[in-house]
Amino acid sequence: MGKIKRQYRVISVHQTFNGQLKVNWKREYKKEFLCPQCNEPRIKFHIHQKTLCRVSWCCASCQLTGSLTQRVPAYIFRYRSDLECPNPNCQEIGNDGQKGWIYQIGKKGKLFTCRFCGVGFIPNSSHPSSWHSRQNQQKLSAFKFDEDTWDLRHFYENTTNRKRLNFHDIKPDWYKFQVKKYIQFQINSQSSAESILHFLSYFRQFGAIIQQKSIGSITKINREVILQFIDSIRTQASTTIYKKVHALKQFF
């Protein structure tokens, strides 16, 4: 009897609130996704031949990889739409319009938590200690321009404490100061938090050329430096190149 040949279909299975979602990447993917690291539309997929339905992706530009068949997080497959968050300070709205996003934690099934505020509680319990705060948010200190880490909560409401602007690796110091001034200008101009993060990424890349050429002031940045930067990103998507060059134009 001959050996049965397996047919490996490029399909990933994802658990959603409305059942399982199956995606045939070979048939349905139209290269519409951007790489989360370099923002390039060069995502490719491949299947691991030794295991069924194990699809992963790779960016052809920066080589970042990831899995398309990762485990479903607990806050999705243990989600409870019939429960609301008991924390009076939690004002977030869940997937089905209820207060909070509640899911079961632990193996015994008695303890639940809110994905938004982190409160842990036992449903249908009248004991005052049946829910307790698990929040561990750092207190927001006063904003200081000279610090190399800016917390976006200073400038935007409903921004998580994980979103920060990091200027540590931007050098030299005169260029870092100019970048901070530009970022502060964009914030005051009501640019979105995501746009600010992109701007900082653009100037971090441009700063590498400034440091490489040992440029000592903004007046020394000439056409040759700009062209070298454009040449370094020439393989990227045209829309990405436009955004980066436009940001530099505003910077000067």
Long-range contacts at 249-252 (CB < 8 A, ≥ 24 apart): 250/182, 251/178, 251/179, 251/182, 251/203, 252/218, 252/221
Over residues 43-48, the mean pLDDT reads 70
Q: What is the mean pLDDT of the chain?
A: 77
User: Is pLDDT above 80 for 68?
Assistant: no
**pLDDT for res 175:** 92
Question: Degrees (nearest 5) of the Cα angle 132, 133, 137?
Answer: 170
Give the residue, 219 or 160, on which the prediction is more confident. Answer: 219
User: Is pLDDT above 90 for 77?
Assistant: no
H helical segments located in the chain: 25-28, 74-77, 173-188, 193-212, 223-232, 238-251
Distances 182 to 61, 177, 189, 203 between C-alpha atoms, Å: 28, 9, 10, 10
Give the residue, 109 or 131, on which the prediction is more confident. Answer: 109
**pLDDT for res 176:** 93
| Per-residue pLDDT reduced to its tens digit, 202-223 | 898 898 889 888 888 888 888 8
Residue 243 DSSP code: H
Q: Find the range with the poorest average confidence among 104-113, 182-191, 212-221.
A: 104-113
- Strand order of the β-sheet with 43-47 is 43-47, 55-59, 65-67
Taking alpha carbons only, the member of 154, 156, 151, 112 closest to residue 134 is: 112
> Rounded to two decimals, what is the model's pTM?
0.46
